[in-house]
Structure 1
Amino acid sequence: MFSYNLGRIVSPILLSIFFLINILNSQKLNKKLFLIPLLIILLAFYLIFKQSSLSLSSRMQYVGIFGANKGLALEIDEFRGHDKNNLKSRLLHNKLTFTGITLLGNYLSHFSTDFLLNYKDHGNVSESHTPLLFMILLPFYYTGILFGFKELFKKSPKEKRSQIFILLFVLLIAPLPSTITEGAPSSKRSLAMHGFIELFTAFGLVTTFSLLKHKLKSNKLIVFIIGVLFAINVGTFLYFFYWIYPKQYGYMYAVRENKICEVIKAKYQQYDQFIFSRRIDGVPYIFPLFCLQFPPEKYWQTRQSRFVDGWHYIDAFDKFQFVDVVDEKIFDKLAPNNKIALFTNEEEKKTILPLLIEKKLISPDQQLIMTKSLINNPKLPLYLFTFRL
């Protein structure tokens, strides 16, 4: 029930197709075997329906385009108001047309140049920052798909057509998990496309060159031009990988959280409490659990959580306290005589440092030592304060 969209949508459809192909290709056709793919599809629909019908705890209520609080009715009323709310406007502007157009637009966006060629937001660590395709290879991706459909309808061996059908089928259903959610197109939710994009690009490249070889006399010039453009694309990628990427690595891959993990692993026994906020990371408890390989049973026994708007927030477990922001309220969470390790960002440091000095937990001459950043990166300041109440 709580599987990812890729498992709920793509896997059942693909399994059903594999079963159907095997059944149709078997020498003895047993009609009862057709129940297997039917049961798989029904089970998948049940899980999707069950997930969508859950209360606010359902992820689909937030990211799905069919969520309860998406403002669809208000948008429809607005469009109808512009068109004087007559019969024509009611036929054009309703839930069916709006969701249909949205779904179609979301789906087609996965084959657009904007999705395939543009650099992604480097703040999202779940997606590659680099484009899915080099610009010079984009035409071959499209021609590869067209040649695939052409091969599908040619008079070729049944086995070959089955293979082409499966490859095209996977490519065409792969965007569905992303299509039904907001923020489409998403390379993370359309993960099943990866690999098939390269496969059809290579197929289009080879097929195109084999056709040009027989029809054009100056094919060497075309190969040279494509080779130069390809080299430029590769050079652009290498420039990013060896020059831009190292500078952005910390921002992309949780360098602050990893630094906190280093301190925790090295000094776990030296401190009674470790504190940092969701300003550093939205789900801060994951990193101590992972880097310490914390026992699950001990985590469940010691964790403190709260349930807000369908989400569980972990506020503490074992020696760790997680707050929304580090400010004067954290002193209410500290136990007397405990040795504290407090991590802050730049903004929190400006708030908490005067309070620590005022409460004489840190003397003024310790400021330079205590405010030394753990990370030598102005975009990712991280500070460690150690004191005893």
Structure 2
Amino acid sequence: MVILFYNIFRRVYFGSIQLASRWNPKAKLWVDGRKNWQSALQQQLTIQPGHKVVWIHCASLGEFEQGRPVLEKLKKQIPTIKVVLTFFSPSGYEIRKDYKGADVVMYLPADSKANASEFLNRVQPTLAIFVKYEFWHYYLSELKKRNIETILVSGIFRSTQPFFQWWGGFYKNMLLKFSHLFVQNQTSAQLLASINIQNNVTVCGDTRFDRVLEMAEQWQPVSSIDAFIQPDKKILVAGSTWKEDEELIAEWLQQNKNDWQLIIAPHEINNAHITQLKQLFNNSILYSEVQPKNSELRTNNCIIINSIGQLSKLYKYAAVCYVGGGFNKSGHHNILEAAVYGKAVITGPNFQKFKESVELKKIGGSFTVNSAPDLTKLIHELDIETSGIIAANYVQQHAGATKAILDYVQEKRLFTNA
């Protein structure tokens, strides 16, 4: 009976995306990206005798960044493996479709018995890696049926999820398909134990810590930003901002423009939103318009980043970082990308969903604000250096999840002949 409801939900959900694709650009990308996936996969993936395949699946961009350190370290250890990287959402695929660390980058075909069987027939993975919280019944069932090693990395569970409800047996059964579950915290392990899943669970933390440390080690200066910075002013870097964040920051900057410059990287970079930001921050320049040798560049008080892939580098330039999304119900974006550089981090009020935010706030590495006056008061009173040291130490102390996962894979000797 439950599988019947799952199939109804699946058809309604995927059907609604099909319908929305007529007017919604993201839905259209979702639909078009899955057309003719069989021929696209056949063209991209050539498996020679002796080659083994790792399939890694991510919901979106954030999950990709969590899975990335595992994937890249595994590829470094075993250069001959083939990698198939799949995404559920356009926000991940469209940004990483040219990622060089994978032999194939594609959308995951919609979950169905036929698609799961055909996909696995073509890919023939030795190892399947799911990142954080992607659970698809038919794919997991087919992996289990074929006895393919399947692991979850950076998993995190909450008591409100279906797995832990009295009616959640169908969903619990999905978790039983995994060979091993690597979870971020003890709470997740305890929840799994409450439904008798414990012998194949390891608490090893979040691979995002390893990823941001790698990014910090690989940092290179950005000439356009170097040219923008005025030596006598401090820099606030605001990343992944939404409307509420931007209005707050604009009011704050107007009051503090004599002492501060702003680098702002909005969550949405479509033309309409960038135009709105130009109006909101009137003494600003677009990143795409910057000419590093232009002597007039430093007369601007704000630079608007209107391209993708820059943000993680930019946080290093900050005296203080503001991470957007904290006025949304879903909460703010990744604060670790800023904390790793030894920067105090500020967000909007909705931070409770994220373990690292709760812990950093408790020890004085991150802070929350509700308004522009709050931001002015906080920055005025903040011991920037001390808070930055706390943030950097926190990231360092929580690294190591990637090694635990790779040790497990090595113990399984899955790629002995690869």
Q: Same fold (TM over 0.5)?
A: no
Higher helix share: 1
Q: What's the TM-score, normalizing by structure 2? A: 0.28
